[in-house]
A and B are shown apart, each in its own frame.
Chain A
Amino acid sequence: MNPDVLWRYAPSLVSGFGVTVLCWSAGGALGIVLGFVIALALRAPIPPLRWILRVFIEIFRGTPFLVQLFLLYAGGPYVGFKLSATTAGILGLGLYSSAYFAENFRAGFAAVPVGQIEAATSVGMSPFDTLMRVTLPSALISATPAIVNMLIVLSKETVVLSIITVPELMYQMQTMAAETFTAFDAIFAMAVFYWLLVETVSRLGHRVEARVTQFLAREGAFA
């Protein structure tokens, strides 16, 4: 271990950490929004739309994230769009995770007990109110644990962005390792940074989860 090296590189490491958090949160937010829209669209009775979305999901779940990222960043210019590394990284994370988030939301919708919807129907609630007030909240509650889990997975996927030169933590670490021949220090420091990030995210996640799923704590106990 060489504390001097770490100290010297602290500014770039911290900025790398910042970029990692930015890519993760922006990519995750994009993925959640996109995934939610996909899950909603999958419920529409339009078979061709459903078919296209299924293919989208299968492609993004069925290929490695690294490959998707390369196609987006390196392949983009061939089909007429050029993205900065960070933009491509965020977009890549968003697209990739949206396929998983869509499945999380879909499962959440599927988990809404039909009786809750029947209760809304029996009092004469409109389909829109039923969706907004009953189906959606119930589906979101069910989907929360899986979504938190996916966010944690995603925070670790951000290391892949270093491959397309996004100046995130992994990239900064590699630079430091290459310039100072301190491979072990770099990897060790990185493990600490990531562990801190993941630990914080999962703590936060568990709090959100506990808050949201308290309503379901004893559901079914009397059914």
Chain B
Amino acid sequence: MIEIRGLSKRFGGLEVLRGVDLDVRQSEVVCLIGPSGSGKSTLLRCVNFLEPYDAGAVRIDGKLIGYEDLPDGTRRPMGARKLREMRREIGMVFQHFNLWPHMTAIGNVAEPLVRVRGLAGGEASERALAMLTRVGLSAKADAYPSHLSGGQQQRVAIARALAMQPRLMLFDEPTSALDPELVGEVLEVMRSLASEGMTMLIVTHEMGFAAHVAGRIAFIDGGRILDEGPPAHVFHHSAEPRVRQFLQTYKDRNAF
């Protein structure tokens, strides 16, 4: 469903991604792990072209995102309208939730339905409420984001993305900004999404979650995928010294 080939991206002189290849199949959950600054968030943001990439290709269901290939072998930027059409099908959840503070929870979820999907107000509210119910927040429908906890805000953000009925979901460190006690409620929603067969690409530092929910783990460092495979392989049998070192540090830090 997602097909990434030779993806490269630089910020000025810094090469953030250096030829990344990765596939995510229908209904698969893939977790991207690795140290900060390794390029994993950038990789995720290239998938819906929030971050334009320089070389390589990201294809969603076989369709190149962000560029159009021309017959003479060159490419040109994709038209804004076409890009928006592709983005509609890709839900994204951010580290800092990014809810719109002047809209209620239900307003946040209904807004894209009205503006992008063209639903009538009543129908949009109905679907928005159904989505909030699904993430366990129907009671908070009329609350503004400033009156919700971080975990609740993130669940509203997930509902907002889900309401668009995306074909796949991207999560960019969805629990990194949360108090430890609020992490569980967000992971629970993600777990249930995974069990319903949603295709998910997740950047996370939650190794336990990754080990239990992901079908595959990709370890990224220095803009490259160093190792990739089922959780058991990456977490316990990786031959890559960098992967083992990273996981050892993680275990040491979390042991008490």
Name A's B-contacting residues (CB within 8 A): 113, 115-116, 118-127, 129, 133-134, 137-138, 141, 214-219, 222-223
Task: Evaluate contact between A125 and B112: CB separation under 8 angstroms.
Answer: yes
Known: A115-B96, A115-B98, A124-B85. A133 touches B146 (CB 8 A): no
Across the interface, do A215 and B102 meet the contact criterion of CB distance under 8 Å? yes
> A116, A124, A216, A217: which contacts B116 (Cβ < 8 A)?
A124
- 6 new A-B contacts at CB < 8 Å, known A122-B90, A138-B101, A214-B144: A113-B98, A118-B98, A119-B98, A123-B88, A133-B100, A216-B146
Residues of B within 8 A of A (CB): 48, 50, 80, 84-88, 90-92, 94, 96-102, 111-112, 115-116, 144-147, 149-150, 153, 157, 160-161, 164, 177-179
| Alpha-carbon separation in the docked complex, A121 to B164 (Å) | 13
Q: Assuming the A-B contacts A115-B94, A129-B115, A223-B96, are A122 and B48 also in contact, with contact meaning beta carbons closer than 8 angstroms in the complex?
A: yes
The chain B residue sitting closest to A121, CB to CB, is B50
* Pairwise interchain contact A214-B146, C-beta atoms closer than 8 A: yes
Task: Report the separation of the CA atoms of residues A124 and B147 in the bound assembly, to the nearest whole angstrom.
Answer: 27
**Across the A-B interface, how many residue pairs have beta carbons closer than 8 Å?**
93
10 A-B pairs closest in CB distance: A222-B150, A115-B98, A124-B88, A119-B98, A123-B112, A122-B92, A124-B87, A124-B84, A218-B146, A129-B115
If over half of A's interface residues share one DSSP class (helix, strand or loop), that class is named, otherwise mixed; here it is helix
How far is it, in angstroms, between the C-alpha of A216 and the C-alpha of B145 when the chains are bound?
A: 9
Nearest-neighbor residue (CB-CB) of B94 within chain A: A115
Min CB gap B201→A, angstroms: 13
- Residues of A within 8 Å of B161, CB to CB, are 122-123
A-B contact pairs, 15 of them (CB 8 A): A115-B94, A118-B94, A119-B98, A119-B100, A122-B91, A123-B88, A123-B91, A123-B112, A124-B164, A129-B115, A133-B115, A134-B100, A214-B144, A215-B144, A216-B146
Complexed CA–CA distance, A112 and B146 (Å): 15
A122 to chain B: which residues have CB within 8 Å? 48, 50, 87, 90-92, 161
Distance in angstroms from B181 CB to nearest chain A CB is 12
When C-beta atoms are compared, the residue in chain A nearest to B113 turns out to be A123
Partner of B145, one of A121, A141, A219: A219
A124 to B97, CA, bound (A): 17
Residues of A within 8 Å of B48, CB to CB, are 122
Question: Nearest Cβ in chain A — how far from B173, in angstroms?
Answer: 12
